[in-house]
Amino acid sequence: MALIIRIDVDRPYGRRPLLRHFLSRLSSDLYFPRLAGFGFLAELETILTLLNEARARAYVFFRRCTLPSRSILKLLDIGRHEIGLHLENSRSLPTFLEETQIVERHVGRKVLAVSKHGSGGGEKYGFHHYAPYEPARYVEWAQLASMRLFLGNLEDPTLQPTKAATGLLVFPSAFWLEPSWRDTKEFTVGWLLDRARYQDIVLLVHPENVLADPELVTDFKRLIGTLESRVLE
């Protein structure tokens, strides 16, 4: 058993300082070019470098505003990571397929995994974002698109995965590394180190949040350096 590492690439320019936060919102809502000089996907680059140094593989989920640059694609290929869709506009099957095709055209390969941007609650994260969290619909659509994996947003990492009739593997929940979305008393890093030795557990990471907290960086390095990680063949 192993970690299934899930990297959600939410912000093209991170959260800090204020200018980069503004550029992230501008990119999400309207348009701003992918400029390395302003740190486009800089946090993801750091996370991928750490993963590659540890020889840990991950699923990396991109929004339409965080499509990878050539340098990021190179790091993804070096580490043999899998590219997925971080679904924003989940209003309908056509919008799901549209976003899938946007990612596939950009990276030049078929997308086989999907996650959802946002966990409901009514908060809207960008112009294209549809806030409700409706995992049964994403599972249905992913099967129609011949995908192999859906990673859900629930916060109980003891929930077991299921397999749909088409072979789509569904992990309904994750161990969120950031403590804001985790029961830190029950689900500690020590718990994960023990549990992932005999059960596949999804480790969910947002690069800009993890890198902003030195303790989380230490936890991340410990996890990827100790536990086996894998992508599902």
Average pLDDT over every residue of 120-126: 70
Per-residue HEC secondary structure of 78-106 comes to: HHCCEEEEEECCCCCHHHHHHHHHHHHHH
In this prediction, residue 126 has a pLDDT band, given cuts at 50, 70 and 90, of confident
In this prediction, residue 144 has a pLDDT band, given cuts at 50, 70 and 90, of very high
pLDDT in tens, 51-77: 999 999 999 999 999 999 999 999 999
User: Is residue 121 in a domain?
Assistant: yes
**Rounded distance, CA 115 to CA 150, Å?**
6
pLDDT in tens, 173-221: 999 999 999 999 999 999 999 999 999 999 999 999 999 999 999 999 9
User: Is residue 205 in a domain?
Assistant: yes
User: Is residue 232 in a domain?
Assistant: no
Encode 153-179: b = buried (16+ Cβ within 10 Å), e = exposed: bebebeeebeeeeeebbbbbbbbbbee
User: Is residue 231 in a domain?
Assistant: no
Predicted confidence at residue 122, as pLDDT, reads 67
User: Is residue 107 in a domain?
Assistant: yes
User: Is residue 95 in a domain?
Assistant: yes
CATH of the domain at 158: 3.20.20.370
Rg over alpha carbons for the chain, rounded to the nearest Å, is 17
How many structural domains compose the chain?
Answer: 1
User: Is residue 126 in a domain?
Assistant: yes
User: Is residue 233 in a domain?
Assistant: no
- The CA dihedral of 169, 171, 172, 177, to the nearest 10 degrees, is -160
Domain containing residue 209: 3-226
For residue 160, give the DSSP letter.
P
